[in-house]
Amino acid sequence: MTENLILSLQITAVGMGLVFGAIIVLWGLMTLLTAVIKDKQPAAEAESAPAPAPAMDSGLKARAAAVAVALAIAEQQTSTAHPLPPPPTSLISAWQLGLRSRQLVEKGSHR
């Protein structure tokens, strides 16, 4: 009896060791690949990056918003999509009828 217990504990320990060992190996490989593939931008190239574009004028933003709203309204009016009709009520099965009847009887007897 104790021999079986010791053998099962050894098998469990070996299995868990293999699982955790594989996880650690995969973790190391991912770290290594991340370090190798990582985009390395030279300092000179980073300094010569173009300056960000100037902010848009607020009037231009308002015009763009108005055009977007007008396009959305026009698209909504010309849309051929229609709501789906609700599905027809289905007949209940004999099993459901039996359960509901039993519930009604139980509720009636509790009053």
Q: Domain ranges for the chain, please list them.
A: 1-37
pLDDT confidence tier of residue 33, bands split at 50, 70 and 90: very high
Enter the pTM of the model: 0.35
- Residue keyed to tokens 């229609």: 82
Whether 21 has a pLDDT exceeding 80, the answer reads yes
**Residues ≥6 apart with Cβ < 8 Å to 100:** 92
- pLDDT by residue (tens digit) across 43-86? 555 566 666 555 557 789 999 999 999 999 988 888 777 777 77
